[in-house]
Structure 1
Amino acid sequence: MLVMRPAQMADLQDVQRLAADSPVGVTSLPDDVERLSDKIVSSEASFAAEVSFNGEESYFFVLEDSSNGRLVGCSGIVASAGYSEPFYSFRNETFVHASRSLSIHNKIHVLSLCHDLTGNSLLTSFYVERPLVDTTYAELNSRARLLFMASHPERFADAVVVEIVGTSDEQGDSAFWDAVGRNFFDMSYSEAERLSGLKSRTFLAELMPHYPIYVPLLPDAAQEAMGQVHPRAQITFDILMREGFETDHYIDIFDGGPTLHARASGIRSIAQSRVVPVRVEEGGRGGRPYLVANGQLQDFRAVVLELDWVPGKPVSLSAEAAELLGVGEGGSVRLVAV
């Protein structure tokens, strides 16, 4: 059975293996031992901290095969995007150019560099091994983070954002980057993303144009890339769109991929999940699949189970499932349908 839990320093080697296979553009998951080590250390400190409001904390989870201890996925949450430096995005806007004497009234699509989303909580670092992409375990890897947020709302903002990786070719070139960012940096898209993963995106963002970019002036390939999703990020996009995220207002400043945004109270896994008491008994299997989390902090665990659960009633868990979740008879879990 696959179980989601907080990452530990002992996971470092396995986490680097996952990072090495993640697509270009996932700068929150760099293939660098030092950065990944810092990421896990920061996460461990965040889980251990007493928190009453969202600040500089970051939480990093791994998806582990309980039968052999092998990691098959990971994901994370940053409590406040841009806590120590602005979180930049391109905002989609419309400018109106009009001439009364010529009877001309044109609406022009422009991109404006902004940090509107600074302070929102940020979902990051999503990766699952390719055989799991079209399974319920991809849902577990993505949505269990939201169950964690639902159980600890004081640790997170009232709104959540997600940067989805945009399109690039097999050589690591991005049409959007080549039309915009490359004019300000003498480096390829893959080089810029690698540098951002090792250092910071902010120093690059600060050198981007701070005046509006008129979209019709961009090459057709760059315009077509705006809001498009990398094939390997499609599963993340689809899951979060079903969760109620919106995609119309912002795009990534490097590759033009969509930046999703939602109020926490409107996210399905947060709004529709329920805390229910547990009964430990055999024969508690069957029915439909649910994401089930124990609601704890440092000992957070989440799994996918097929349950015959009736709303308003306790949920029956097998002894194996209860042990993996670290709950016993009379305890409680948070669950939501897959």
Structure 2
Amino acid sequence: MLVIRPITATDYPALMRCAEESGHGFTSLPVNEGMLRNRIAHSEASFAKEITEIGTEGYLMVAEDTETGEVAGTTGIEAAIGLDTPFYTYHLSTVVHASRRLDVHNVVKLLTFGNNYTGNSELCTLFLRPEWRKGLNGRLLSKARFLMMAEHSHRFSPTVIAEMRGVSDDEGHSPFWEWLKEHFFSIDFTHADYLTGIGAKGFIADLMPKLPIYVNLLSEEAQAVIGKVHDNTAPALRLLEQEGFTCRGYVNIFDAGPMVECEVRNIESVRHSLRCRVEIGEHSSSHDYLISNTSFENFRATVGKVAVDGERNIAIVSPAMAQALQLQQGDMVRLIGQ
């Protein structure tokens, strides 16, 4: 059984393994021991913290196999982005250049540099190791965060975003970055991506063009990938779109991958989640549910068979599931059908 739980210091080797396997373009998992250990420590402090207002808390979790103890992946939420270091994006918009006198009417697209998402919550650091990409594991890793946000909404912004990895090849070459590099930078995409991952973002403000960029001036290769995702990211994007996330024209400044967003209250798994009281016992239900306890510091979530009695507002879980979720008879859970 895979269980989502808060990361701890002992998970560092597993997190480093995820960082190494995630490949180029995965900014939130840099292959850097100091940064990864700092993220773990920051997450531990964030989970233990009582908050009165949303700040720079970061909640990082892992998916652990309860039988072997192996970590299958990682997932996280940033409570509010851009408060300690700027969070930059490009916004893709359309303008018209027209002259009635000359009978000219041109529709052109612009990329405008900015940090419009400051203060929003962000879904981040979703990575499932290749051998675990089967069954409902990916849905568990992604959607467990929505149960957390539904149950503990005071810890998160009303709007949540997700930055989707854009197009790059196995060697880390991004067509969009190649154009930026040629005209404004002199470093490779992998180096720029790494610097961002370790928090060294000063070069962005120093070198990134501040005026809008006309898209038709970019190379054809760069134009073609604006708003497109990496092949490995396509399943995650589809899942978020099913949850109600949409792109409003914002893209990543390095690889032009899309930014998607949704009001927390409008996320499908938040809207339709049930809050039930637990009965522990064997049952014969064949229905799969994504289910979590209602603790925050000791958050646990998994997916499996649950018998739900809607009339009595009862969720019957097996003893094994109750143990994995740290549940006692009569505790409350939050769950959503799969």
Give TM class, smaller chain. Answer: over 0.9
37-46 or 229-238: which moved more?
A: 229-238
CA displacement 1:179-222 (0-9 Å, x = unmatched): 12442221111121112212333542542111111111111111
CA displacement 1:154-175 (0-9 Å, x = unmatched): 1110101111111111221000
In 2, distance between residues paired with 1:199 and 1:118?
16
Question: Compared with structure 1, are the counterparts of its residues 310 and 221 closer, same or farther at alpha carbon in structure 2 (3 Å cutoff)?
Answer: farther
Moved over 6 A (4+): none
Q: Is the aligned partner of 1:122 residue 2:89?
A: no
Q: Is the aligned partner of 1:249 residue 2:249?
A: yes
Equivalence for 1:298:
297
In 1, distance between residues paired with 2:14 and 2:34?
14
Could you state the TM-score of these two structures normalised by the residue count of structure 2? 0.96
In 2, distance between residues paired with 1:188 and 1:286?
53
Question: Compared with structure 1, are the counterparts of its residues 203 and 269 closer, same or farther at alpha carbon in structure 2 (3 Å cutoff)?
Answer: farther
SS of the residue 1:229 aligns to: coil
SS of the residue 1:278 aligns to: strand
Equivalence for 1:204:
204
Paired residues of 2:181 and 2:188 also in contact (CA < 8 A) = no
SS of the residue 1:246 aligns to: coil
Could you state the TM-score of these two structures normalised by the residue count of structure 1? 0.96
SS of the residue 1:180 aligns to: helix
CA displacement 1:73-103 (0-9 Å, x = unmatched): 0011110010112211000111121112112
Equivalence for 1:190:
190
Paired residues of 1:85 and 1:202 also in contact (CA < 8 A) = no
In 2, distance between residues paired with 1:179 and 1:134?
37
**Pairing 1:1-338 to 2, within 5 Å after superposition:** 1-201=1-201, 203-283=203-283, 285-312=284-311, 313-338=313-338
Quote how far apart the aligned CAs of 1:249 are. 1.5
In 2, distance between residues paired with 1:336 and 1:241?
17
Question: Compared with structure 1, are the counterparts of its residues 85 and 292 closer, same or farther at alpha carbon in structure 2 (3 Å cutoff)?
Answer: same
RMSD of aligned Cα (Å)? 1.4
Identity of aligned residues (%): 36
Paired residues of 1:244 and 1:268 also in contact (CA < 8 A) = yes
In 2, distance between residues paired with 1:75 and 1:202?
26
Quote how far apart the aligned CAs of 1:259 are. 0.7
Quote how far apart the aligned CAs of 1:33 are. 1.2
In 1, distance between residues paired with 2:49 and 2:74?
21
Question: Compared with structure 1, are the counterparts of its residues 325 and 263 closer, same or farther at alpha carbon in structure 2 (3 Å cutoff)?
Answer: same
CA displacement 1:256-288 (0-9 Å, x = unmatched): 1111111111111211111111111112x4322
In 1, distance between residues paired with 2:181 and 2:46?
34
Paired residues of 2:24 and 2:170 also in contact (CA < 8 A) = no
Letter in 2 for 1:6: P
Letter in 2 for 1:277: R
